[in-house]
Amino acid sequence: ETAVHRWDAQLAIAAGEPVEAKLAADGVSEVLDTWLPAGKRRTPGQWHGVVQLVAADAAQQWYLRLRGEGVALLDTDTILDHDDHRARALVSGTASDLLLALWGRVSFDTLDVTGDRGLLEGLRVS
């Protein structure tokens, strides 16, 4: 969260730079395993499906199952063993862009998105 606020401050003086990959990947993990499960979504709603996020520059990926108002971070090994966990949306880009999109600072359009774009609104935090 602090990295996002730093990015906001830099942007205010027209000096916005991407968040460093490792720090941004840690921030993505924080959003997915803390903020979203705590009910901190920007827009309440009913989403159903699995979303895969890929940060190529940080060599990390995350799978999330959205079920109504609930969200669960899935184990990658579980995903590979079960067809019913296939992603309905795949989002890939830099860790910085993923983090900033989750926080609503940039649009998911700045990332490569395939599949059900509607699920992405269930990932934005307030």
pLDDT value of residue 86: 64
The per-residue pLDDT of the chain, averaged, comes to: 83
29-83: pLDDT as tens digits: 999 998 888 877 777 678 889 999 999 999 999 999 988 888 888 877 655 555 5
Does 5 score more than 70 pLDDT?
Answer: no
pLDDT value of residue 56: 94
Does 18 score more than 70 pLDDT?
Answer: yes
Mean pLDDT in residue range 106-123? 93
**Strand arrangement, sheet containing 112-115:** 70-74, 60-68, 47-55, 89-93, 112-115
